[in-house]
Structure 1
């Protein structure tokens, strides 16, 4: 017999088995065998039965179907006075005249239960090879994700330096704008000016978002080094990071900060795409 196992991205674990009809009774056991090694992804398993020429299954004539068709033709002829007879060519073109190889049991297969352990062992070897390949690929992906996390931390560090200057820049620009507009017709109100700056400072404060982002970075790196499936946890953390970055973008009335937000979102999207391949 021959086993072919393929896997693609999937949010959950889905196992699809394609095997000869006489072995469908073993589907549950074979599916559990795959799930011992794969926790996330769609896995397609193809089991092909290879036989030598002497015992290879061949299509068989369904004699019962042939007799039924012939009898039906005679009945129609007698009842409705129709002329003509069925030819061999006509019979061979009708459905169910041939029994496909997978629909009949071969000599020596009287005890099909003996195939269960054989199939499980063969599939286990195939899935172990798949798991080894997925593990090697996962290490490369984890390294790429960690590199992108380092880039995010670098952008985060720039944001930490920029954050305290946002209010001061806004204060200077607002004061200059008021000075340019003042034609002597109104007096500058220092108290109202201070109130405006205080409101802006409260509205644009991103300290909490930056603190939570740093925590998420550390959690992600810890998960990447764990010896267990972490794909879903990483998905959740990336969603949380996106939420914090979006909040910073909506609060930050500062061009340089907004540019850093755009860069962060681009890196997070690349990480999200990679995480689809990580179990």
Structure 2
């Protein structure tokens, strides 16, 4: 079963005096790229939190947000009255103003408000860790749901390529005959006598150069391999990407060898379907 790298999860931990919100978003990326914005009191646990994300998410551009909201009477911020009064005193020397307006200005200046950094206790960390695990479960479920949508789309497009390939197989004998007739007419137009045996040998050699039997067989194998890889227990977008490249190689060779306009139109249709598959593969974990 495949999973998408696109995902979203959010949970809220309600404590007696504060509410902690955990939010994780992920998008596609070649590697794991974690960008975190964590409330200051939890920074000491950042490495452990990153390891939790790396173990579960594997790949993707991940944004982690952990922020707190005070809901009780306790607060970690205090006004530094001495500093504020000194600021007001200095401001009065610069401008004449109402005490309230000067206070508004002073309170925004450095060190007017101090924040005590609370150390997270082990019990609170245990609850936060469990909540992060729940958020990771939510984002993994989101990724699997997105993966099901991608899987259905891949199957439809692979089946479309298979249908087009069947049309090419039916058309191939007609194409070979047209190429043969074209060469025979070209020789006839020269109005020169040729060695029939030698001409037949050269004709067979020329037509063999345009034979696409091997490419058709390999493309069929790649298409079937792609479908079987979709059923694997682990999501492996890189493996599917490699198979997609091989599919593209065979399709391109069929196009270059076809030398037949109706077949080349079918090849263009296969290329279009494959390009859409490759675009979506960028989102697969």
Same fold (TM over 0.5): yes
Say whether residues 1:214 and 2:214 are aligned partners: no
Counterpart-to-counterpart distance in 1, 2:223 and 2:62: 31
Counterpart-to-counterpart distance in 1, 2:80 and 2:67: 23
Alignment match of 1:122 (pick from 126, 131, 156): 131
Structure 1 residue 112 displacement after superposition: 4.3
Structure index of larger Rg: 1
Q: Which residue of 2 aligns with 1:171?
A: 180
Q: Which residue of 2 aligns with 1:10?
A: 29
Structure 1 residue 134 displacement after superposition: 1.6
Counterpart-to-counterpart distance in 1, 2:245 and 2:210: 22
Structure 1 residue 121 displacement after superposition: 0.9
Counterpart-to-counterpart distance in 2, 1:202 and 1:21: 71
Q: Which residue of 2 aligns with 1:40?
A: 59
218-227 vs 191-200, which moves further = 191-200
Q: Closer, same or farther in 2 for the Cα pair 1:64/1:98, shift >3 Å?
A: closer
Gaps of 5+ in 2: 1-19, 96-101
214-223 vs 49-58, which moves further = 49-58
Offset from partner CA, 1:137-183 (integer Å, 9 cap, x none): 2112101111111111112222233334433221112222333x34x
The RMSD of aligned alpha carbons is 3.0
Q: Which residue of 2 aligns with 1:264?
A: 270
Say whether residues 1:156 and 2:169 are aligned partners: no
Say whether residues 1:245 and 2:251 are aligned partners: yes
- How many residues align? The count is 258
Superposed, 1:45-124 pairs within 5 Å as: 45-58=64-77, 60-61=79-80, 85=93, 92=106, 96-99=110-113, 101=115, 104-105=116-117, 109-124=118-133
Q: Closer, same or farther in 2 for the Cα pair 1:111/1:45, shift >3 Å?
A: closer
Match of 1:36, SS? helix
Counterpart-to-counterpart distance in 2, 1:90 and 1:53: 25
Q: Which residue of 2 aligns with 1:27?
A: 46
Normalized against structure 1, the TM-score is what? 0.79
Superposed, 1:141-152 pairs within 5 Å as: 141-152=150-161
Contact (CA 8 Å) 1:7, 1:41: kept in 2 or not? Answer: yes
Which has the larger share of strand? Answer: 2
86-95 vs 110-119, which moves further = 86-95
Counterpart-to-counterpart distance in 2, 1:110 and 1:26: 11
